[in-house]
Amino acid sequence: MFQPSVPEKYVRLSDDELAQRIAACKERLGGRVCILGHHYQRDPVIQFADFTGDSLKLSQQAADQDEAEFIVFCGVHFMAESADILSSDRQTVCLPNIQAGCAMADMADASAVTAALEELAELTDAKVVPITYVNSSAADKAITARADGACCTSSNVRNVFQWALQPAGGGGAGADKILAIPDEHLGRNTAAALGFEEKACAVYDPHLPQGGLSAADVEAATFILWKGYCHVHQVFTVEQVDRVRADRPDIRVIVHSECTREVVAAADASGSTSQIIQAISEAQPGSQWAVGTEANLVNRLAQRHTDRFIRLLSDRPATCWQMGKIDLLHLLWVLDGLVAGEIINPVTVPADIAADARIALQRMLDIKAATGLTQ
């Protein structure tokens, strides 16, 4: 994506100067601007967020924002797209660095998703309904709505899968099979959490003809899993789980549902970013935790709860470099622009795509999220 360079005058500023000027811009803009920050953002950025949250909470915040003229999204591109779709027409969403994408979302190109639905329709007469993780393009979300599907996040994915499999007459989508896009691991972990065996899952590889599946493979599967993954959460391994337990036998291992099935099965609990935060925040002083999710969040939890032992599950860093593309420099650039009446890095989803994508997002928001972790 093309992005004009940050002007030279910002590049020379120190972090303190950047922070002071961001605070001054916020002061001047007042209620006209709302800054949303995903939990994986770095501390210097997250300190300026009016609301922090996981993907689900931030989608809801964007939908609930009726006062702010500008929503500045400190997250990645698909999140800013969702905010644009869910906010009102008079609001503008800006992504401070337009190049902050999501490698996993990019693994499910809209044309490949369309082709997959067509191929699956040739392989089976059963009703295949796409359930698309919000970590996806607006175009994927629109395709999902047109095929009777809905979006999900890691907070509500179990409920959305259950909704999809309920008969249409009973308020569900009447799916015989779910096409889970784009995270293979989230799909498999959710199928397991709902009590399905591994043999109920088949993997659709968009790089292979017919996804690498035969009609018999599709017939046997209830969950067809798009072969996509998050490189941040793939860093975690069963060996790391074994190692932290060998060091500290009382430690509890808690991981994000984007981790592999083996890691989730070896852990004590799994869930979304918010569910992990809630579990650790409610834990007893003295409790010990190894956490398998993005490092900025784990470090923040460790700083916030100094009476608990909290470490990253891996010794290797697990940081989302896409989220890291949002920094003080880009945040100041965008806010300074708004003060001067200039909109920098707006994210605008074309109206025809937005109309259908909104249906997929709204179906998700209408389905109540599970509150607990998967134990």
Residues lying near ligand SF4 in the complex (CB under 6 A): 40, 76, 102-104, 135, 230, 232, 294, 320, 322-323
**201 Cβ contact partners less than 8 Å away, ≥ 6 residues apart:** 187, 188, 191, 221, 222, 223, 224, 225
Q: Which is nearer to ligand 13P, 210 or 299 (CB)?
A: 299
Query: What stretches of the chain adopt beta strand conformation (E)?
Result: 33-38, 51-53, 70-74, 92-94, 128-133, 150-152, 177-181, 201-204, 223-226, 252-256, 269-271, 288-292, 309-312
- DSSP per-residue string spanning 75-125: S-HHHHHHHHHHS-TT-EEE-SSTT---TTGGGS-HHHHHHHHHHHHHH-S
Q: Which is nearer to ligand 13P, 189 or 273 (CB)?
A: 273
Judged by CB under 6 A, the stretch of 106-114, 147-155, 168-176, 281-289 that binds ligand 13P is 147-155
Q: Which is nearer to ligand SF4, 135 or 345 (CB)?
A: 135
230 forms part of the interface with ligand 13P (CB under 6 A) = yes
State in angstroms the smallest separation of the CB of 222 from ligand 13P. 23
State in angstroms the smallest separation of the CB of 308 from ligand SF4. 24
By a kind-dependent CB cut-off of 5 to 8 A, residue 103 interacts, out of ligand SF4, ligand 13P, none, with ligand SF4
184 forms part of the interface with ligand 13P (CB under 6 A) = no
State in angstroms the smallest separation of the CB of 77 from ligand SF4. 9
Minimal CA–CA distance to 92: which of 275, 341, 315?
Answer: 341
Q: Which is nearer to ligand SF4, 93 or 320 (CB)?
A: 320
By a kind-dependent CB cut-off of 5 to 8 A, residue 347 interacts, out of ligand 13P, ligand SF4, none, with none
State in angstroms the smallest separation of the CB of 238 from ligand SF4. 20
Question: What's the full length of the chain, in residues?
Answer: 375
Residue 47 · residue 26 · CB < 8 Å = no
Cα separation, 271 vs 268, in Å, equals 11
Per-residue DSSP letter, 32: G
State in angstroms the smallest separation of the CB of 288 from ligand 13P. 22
Q: Which is nearer to ligand SF4, 83 or 104 (CB)?
A: 104
273 forms part of the interface with ligand 13P (CB under 6 A) = yes
By a kind-dependent CB cut-off of 5 to 8 A, residue 322 interacts, out of ligand 13P, ligand SF4, none, with ligand SF4
Q: Which is nearer to ligand SF4, 311 or 325 (CB)?
A: 325
156 forms part of the interface with ligand 13P (CB under 6 A) = no
State in angstroms the smallest separation of the CB of 176 from ligand SF4. 28
Q: Which is nearer to ligand 13P, 154 or 345 (CB)?
A: 154
Helix (H) or strand (E) holding 330: helix 328-339
Residue 179 · residue 165 · CB < 8 Å = no
Cα separation, 192 vs 33, in Å, equals 42
State in angstroms the smallest separation of the CB of 219 from ligand SF4. 31
Cα separation, 319 vs 230, in Å, equals 11
Minimal CA–CA distance to 259: which of 121, 111, 104, 113?
Answer: 104
By a kind-dependent CB cut-off of 5 to 8 A, residue 164 interacts, out of ligand 13P, ligand SF4, none, with none
Instruction: Write out the binding residues for ligand 13P, residues 54-113 only, by CB under 6 A.
Output: 54-56, 102
Name beta bridge partners: 128. 177
Q: Which is nearer to ligand SF4, 104 or 131 (CB)?
A: 104
Cα separation, 56 vs 65, in Å, equals 14
**371 Cβ contact partners less than 8 Å away, ≥ 6 residues apart:** 275
Q: Which is nearer to ligand SF4, 35 or 104 (CB)?
A: 104
Could you say which of 153, 156, 222, 237 contacts ligand 13P (CB under 6 A)?
A: 153
154 forms part of the interface with ligand 13P (CB under 6 A) = yes
Contacting positions for ligand 13P (CB under 6 A): 54-56, 102, 135, 153-155, 230, 258, 272-273
